[in-house]
A and B are shown apart, each in its own frame.
Chain A
């Protein structure tokens, strides 16, 4: 089977055009132009979506997370190799008990304005996030587990939690950069967060220019603390240009306007990477694709999906191996359970459902649907994969109507619990912990929970509120086994990422889908 991943028409067209113009492009020696100046100290990266603010506390965007890892440090960070949470601006930490965390901050960290970071700054930052009027982007999440924060020593801060919450380090690493005391004084929330105001972070780069929707320029911060694993980045200046159209990004890459494209569809990567002046890198992503089945009968109490055998039949009917190999491609793998195999706790003793259309038909017959039934499958991304799923389901006699819509429409119908089945994906915010996936999809209060399985929800909640790693693993195993046994989901595949780079750019593909640009460098070759 030879198939192609869906890409916008303009992107596909440009790829074909560029490929067909290859000899001319080569003769025009654009490769020389493209690599011109690349030995310099600047990296230009294309962002597909605009960034509305450079302040991570007020950004929910993926681009904000990427930029924040350059301009900000949190108390902790995600180790790029192990994906574990380790101290960064913190020197050390200890759990006093299951609801008290003490963190000692480093004494050699300075803000971009030259002032030293202190425990008072850390207390100020978290108190600001806890303040409901501050309207920070992750405030609601932090407020759900953090009760208060206090200074207990010159360099020591104590976090008092409402409840045991093992993902506290994750939230501190990903969502809460340290801010200087008084940063937001006088501000009632950050209604004008996109205003051009200097960001006083403690990261290895500082903001030089910010033009919302156009570009962001950062420059290396020379007084960055040497003890950091992010210290001494090779590239002096980085420019992030907002270019929404991927076809235009390709043209910019070929003409030397940018040095890197992210999130390139496999087809486009195939075509463009053969051109001179372009290097392809691919690797894993922590994002997974899955199908949710309305086991609770929210969309229709008489839905066939309320029957276990029907859900099992759907699991057996979809050829996930072939879809993964030929449509998702790259480093993608079939995922057996409702999480990414790289996530902590993503292990189960539950059943898996190998592709077996005959067994699927038999299960449908046993469930009382020998002639199949009709239903709508909703999707908002990777249309071709959704179509492959529909094709597999039609092969076992189901009449499937594919409803392919934009995300904002999809989210409305899904959150109203009006879908019988939907194909979606989840990136876990780059978090290598099963809680990120199970918490969002199987917790009692989640609009994405189509199971109404109280026992499962309680298990997931218990795992989220346990500090002990072994106990967490046991609870996640129990939850994931329950999900697999009940066939609530059809876990599909992990995604693969493609990057296109200018020659000479050294860049390691991240394991969790979040690029670390401080690791990039230009080779002398």
Chain B
């Protein structure tokens, strides 16, 4: 198992390095960071001064190695745009994103699992059809549209929740629902299909013969196996929510990592973008690894190889 973890960790590092170099090179070949930092209407003297001040006049390879050297020593550098250490920036914005992602994941679990279980218990019934229709609808609705609809309904017409910001728990309700709803179809379908498979298996028949019925049969016997693919998907969905809540954060004006990433890209804030990409890549890999480990714990056959 240790070998497996180390191998995955090394792969993660290689992926992160490749992506970071690609991003770095793209930034330098496709954009003019000095002009972007100076602003749209900046006079030439200002642009030239920034180019020299930030070292953009040096070869790209030198700049990359410089960044890599600092990063490997734990120094993520200074944000060109925010003029703050990148570590501080990320720490500040990560709080919002982690809270939002966990809240979103909770929404997904709270909606998708009961729906999926209900649909699997009564296939082809109205419950099943309702669950599948919900999944199709949720899949068809774009995030930003749902966000705007919720804002109009619950913040403008019936002002129950705030429109934007992240100051209180109330600010998280609508965005968490939007973020969570996007993952409902995948998780619900997987739950339904997985549970249907498991329910028709021999060991469930045996369990029923032993007297397991109702929720005890579902939760104690069937779900343990049906959960295997769901855990993997939830891990990936959490990764998506941590790294990809850009639209939701923008619509609800939440100061999370997604919005930080977008602003950093548009402002050519290279140290911040580089660090965020590194974090996003590592997050995905670590979450996938965590999912594998949980699966191994849930299913002893995986541990046995």
**CB within 8 Å of B: which residues of A?**
9-10, 13-14, 17-18, 21, 24-25, 28, 30, 33, 50, 52-53, 58, 60-62, 135, 137-141, 144, 190-195, 212-214, 241-245, 247-248, 251-252, 254-255, 257, 406-409, 411-412, 415-416, 426-429, 439-440, 443, 445-448
Q: Is B12 located at the chain interface by the 8 A CB criterion?
A: no
Chain A interface: which of B68-76, B176-184, B186-194, B250-258? B250-258
A490 CA / B278 CA spacing, docked (Å): 45
A65 CA / B158 CA spacing, docked (Å): 37
Count CB-based A-B contacts (< 8 Å).
152
Find chain B residues with CB under 8 A from A242 CB. Answer: 253
Which of B31, B37, B44, B255 is close to A446, meaning CB atoms less than 8 Å apart? B44
Which of B42, B45, B157, B268 is close to A408, meaning CB atoms less than 8 Å apart? B268
**CB within 8 Å of A: which residues of B?**
30-33, 35-49, 53, 78, 81-84, 144-145, 148-149, 151-152, 155-159, 162-165, 250-253, 255, 259, 263, 266-268
Find chain A residues with CB under 8 A from B37 CB. Answer: 60
Inter-subunit contact B162/A257 (CB<8 Å): yes
14 pairs across A/B with beta carbons < 8 Å? A25-B156, A28-B156, A60-B46, A135-B53, A138-B46, A241-B253, A252-B163, A255-B159, A408-B35, A411-B31, A412-B32, A412-B35, A426-B41, A447-B35
A104 CA / B42 CA spacing, docked (Å): 30
A429 CA / B45 CA spacing, docked (Å): 15
Known: A25-B157, A248-B151, A251-B164. 15 other contacts (CB 8 A): A28-B158, A30-B159, A50-B263, A52-B83, A140-B45, A213-B82, A244-B253, A247-B148, A248-B250, A248-B252, A252-B164, A407-B36, A407-B266, A409-B31, A447-B35
Closest-CB distance, B220 to chain A (whole angstroms)? 46
Inter-subunit contact B145/A33 (CB<8 Å): no
Inter-subunit contact B30/A141 (CB<8 Å): no
Find chain A residues with CB under 8 A from B266 CB. Answer: 406-408
Closest-CB distance, B93 to chain A (whole angstroms)? 8
Find chain B residues with CB under 8 A from A214 CB. Answer: 165, 255
Closest-CB distance, B30 to chain A (whole angstroms)? 6
Inter-subunit contact B39/A255 (CB<8 Å): no
Inter-subunit contact B44/A447 (CB<8 Å): yes
User: Would A17 and B83 be within 8 Å (CB), given that A30-B157, A137-B46, A141-B46 are in contact?
Assistant: no
A440 CA / B45 CA spacing, docked (Å): 10
A95 CA / B158 CA spacing, docked (Å): 62
Find chain B residues with CB under 8 A from A135 CB. Answer: 53
A214 CA / B256 CA spacing, docked (Å): 11
A212 CA / B255 CA spacing, docked (Å): 10
Which of B44, B47, B49, B164 is close to A257, meaning CB atoms less than 8 Å apart? B164
A242 CA / B155 CA spacing, docked (Å): 18
Find chain A residues with CB under 8 A from B268 CB. Answer: 408
